[in-house]
Amino acid sequence: MKDILLRVRGATKLFGAVQALVDADLDVHHGEVVAIVGDNAAGKSTLARAIAGIYRLTSGTMELEGTPVDFASASEALNAGVATVFQELALAENLDVTSNIFLGRELKSLGLLDERQMHELAREYLDRLNSRIPSTTTRLSELSAGQRQCVSIARTLVGNPKLIVLDEPTASLSVSQTAEVLSHIQSLRDTGMGVILISHSLTDVRAVADRIEVLRHGRNNGSFNAAHAAYEDVLAAITGATRLER
Ligand SMILES: Nc1ncnc2c1ncn2[C@@H]1O[C@H](COP(=O)(O)OP(=O)(O)OP(=O)(O)O)[C@@H](O)[C@H]1O
Ligand SMILES: [Mg+2]
């Protein structure tokens, strides 16, 4: 099924006696934003990390565009087209926007850093995200939290991924900064990428996602069309007031 970008089936991850994920399924299509919601410890980050190659599933399968994948590392996932922004931001305050976007993956030409090409590409990524960051030579310390998050997302575009995984990208942002990041997510979808958005904010999720997948105690506990989902129904699935019959 090549039209399905990512297909996860029966994902189970045990940490000793802790069942972080139990038999979880997930599909992501091209040009689709799928939100994963759930209470603390529901298994959201664990699923994201498995998809990103950071954790290996205890059992279960993953397919990317119909090809079975079993990533041994984040760089393997990245090479296959899966890029991730994690809950904990890892950016260098004293470096400029371009350097942060290419950190650890600098472009070289004849053994020298190709500054010009990196700045050009950085600009292109920012434009693709409809970012208002004026210059790629601005130091990170001079940017707002929302603009920094935009740099983190732009960073994932290096290497033209197919799927982007965002683990709580708006967690520490103000209302307007959140709106800014959500519009970046829409821009990604508009270029045909698949996006997995993990969030605690049902308002954000309903604003930007196409589909909402609920995890509870590591298991699927509901799937909603974001445009039609009633707030109370999603909430009930999160808190366990409604249980998915399987
Ligand atoms: N590396 C690890 N070692 C041991 N247990 C872990 C590890 N990572 C996650 N867990 C456990 O797995 C469960 C799911 O954690 P996970 O981080 O996936 O939850 P989450 O849904 O992302 O929660 P939050 O909303 O708080 O970010 C928790 O009980 C957590 O303590
Ligand atoms: Mg988490």
- What digits encode the pLDDT tens for the residues 219-230? 999 999 999 999
> Does residue 1 register a pLDDT over 60?
no
Q: Which atom of ligand 1 is nearest to the CA of 168?
A: 27
Residues 6+ apart with CB under 8 A from 231: 202, 206
Whether the pLDDT of residue 142 is over 70: the answer is yes
Q: How far is the CA of 15 from the centre of ligand 1 (A)?
A: 9
pLDDT of 243 reads 75
Q: Any idea which ligand is nearest the CA of 215?
A: 1
Burial of 191 from C-beta contacts in 10 A (0-12 / 13-18 / 19+):
exposed
Cβ atoms of 150 and 126 within 8 Å: the answer is: yes
Is pTM beyond 0.85 here? Answer: yes
**Going by CA atoms, what residue is nearest to atom 19 of ligand 1?**
41
At 226 the pLDDT is: 94
* Interval between CA 237 and ligand 1 midpoint (Å): 19
* CB distance 132 to 10 below 8 Å: no
Residue 118 CA to ligand 2 center (angstroms) comes to 32
Q: Give residue 245's pLDDT.
A: 64
Residue 7 CA to ligand 2 centre (angstroms): 21
**Residue count (the chain):** 246
Superfamily of domain 4-94+161-239: P-loop containing nucleotide triphosphate hydrolases (3.40.50.300)
Neighbours of ion ligand 2 (CB under 5 A): 44-45
How many other C-beta atoms are found inside a 10 Å radius of the C-beta of residue 90? Answer: 10
Ligand number nearest to the C-alpha of 47: 1
Question: What residue owns the CA closest to ligand 1's atom 3?
Answer: 15
pLDDT at residue 146 tops 90: no
User: Which of 26-30, 140-144, 214-218 is least confident?
Assistant: 140-144
Q: In this model, does residue 217 exceed pLDDT 90?
A: yes
List all residues whose CB is within 6 A of at least one atom of ligand 1: 15, 18, 20, 38, 40-46
Average pLDDT of the residues in 184-191: 93
132 pLDDT above the threshold of 90: no
Average pLDDT over residues 160-176: 90
86-90, 140-144, 199-203: least confidently modelled range: 86-90
Sheet holding 59-64, edge to edge: 18-29, 4-15, 59-64, 67-69
Domain ranges of the chain: 4-94+161-239
The pLDDT value given to residue 159: 84
